[in-house]
A and B are shown apart, each in its own frame.
Chain A
Amino acid sequence: LAKTTQPISMDSYEGQEVNITCSHNNIATNDYITWYQQFPSQGPRFIIQGYKTKVTNEVASLFIPADRKSSTLSLPRVSLSDTAVYYCLVGDRGLKSSGDKLTFGTGTRLAVRP
């Protein structure tokens, strides 16, 4: 399973764009990259998933370079409510595959200030 490395913490101010980078040097061909958000006292919540290039949804964008050894979660114009822990996961979830062992790393604790 590809191991991920993220910054432990980041600080930002309201209205700024935040980019959180995740390294996954030994990502496998069939692996996808998924990001989750976790607020205190809640379970993680799916944000975005991608395989290559760029994916965008109403919440965030995910940038994946051609070698796929890293990925960057981009949060446009953050607000105080975006203060949370963000987890990067890499894995292949074919039915009953060993990739079902989705492992969350330490995550990045984002603090958004007024």
Chain B
Amino acid sequence: DTAVSQTPKYLVTQMGNDKSIKCEQNLGHDTMYWYKQDSKKFLKIMFSYNNKELIINETVPNRFSPKSPDKAHLNLHINSLELGDSAVYFCASSFPGTGGTGELFFGEGSRLTVL
């Protein structure tokens, strides 16, 4: 049983297209995230949702729009794709920390290549 699952695992598309990445977690967590890992392996947070409410939006272009239909799902839609959007996108989930950093559970990543 995959705890945090993302689809698709690979995505190749042309500049200007719109694409979506889906994420689901079956851990019962309240908080979900999207991270972007670029070619230099920097892993940067993009969004965070707690119980379907957006709590973090880290200066991500408006072309990126997260949607959380329920607390087990957090999807990422990207409009007008650009070459610089090529990266691996990771979904993660956690319980809200009661002290310290709540352990993050990551999916396997979705590798997006924009041509």
Q: Which of B44, B97, B105 has the most CB of A within 10 A?
A: B97
- Chain A min CB distance to B29 (Å): 13
Render B54-93 as a binary contact track against A, CB cut-off 8 A, 1 for contact: 0110100000000000000000000000000000001010
Chain B proximity mask over A89-106: 1 for CB below 8 Å, otherwise 0: 101111110011111101
B44 to chain A, nearest CB (A): 7
CB of A4, distance to nearest CB on chain B (Å): 12
CB distance from A23 to the nearest CB of B (A): 18
Majority secondary structure, A binding face? loop
Cβ contacts under 8 Å, B106 to chain A: 42-45
In angstroms, Cα B97 to Cα A92, docked, is 8
**Which range holds the interface residue count of chain B?**
20 to 34
* Interface residue A49 (Cβ < 8 Å from any Cβ of B): yes
- Give A91's nearest chain B residue, CB to CB: B101
Picked from A43, A92, A100, A102, the residue with its CB within 8 Å of the CB of B108 is: A43
How far apart are the CA atoms of A30 and B97 in the complex, in Å? 12
* B15 close to A (CB within 8 Å): no
Chain B hits for A102, CB < 8 A: 45, 101, 104
Is A34 among interface residues, defined by CB-CB distance under 8 A? yes
* CB < 8 Å neighbour of A93 from B101, B107, B108: B101
Contact across chains for A96 and B45 when beta carbons are under 8 A apart: no
Contacts of A32 in B (CB 8 A): 99-101
Interface presence of A41 (CB below 8 A): yes
Considering the complex, give the chain A residue whose CB is closest to the CB of B111: A41
Closest-CB distance, B97 to chain A (whole angstroms): 3
Is A107 within 8 A of B41, CB to CB?
Answer: yes
Residue in A36, A42, A43, A49 whose CB lies within 8 Å of B100: A49
Q: Are A104 and B42 in contact (CB under 8 A)?
A: yes
How far does the alpha carbon of A102 sit from the alpha carbon of B31 in the complex, in Å? Answer: 13
- Inter-chain contact B108/A96, CB cutoff 8 Å: no
Given contacts A100-B31, A107-B43, 5 further A-B contacts (CB under 8 A): A34-B103, A41-B109, A44-B90, A106-B41, A106-B42
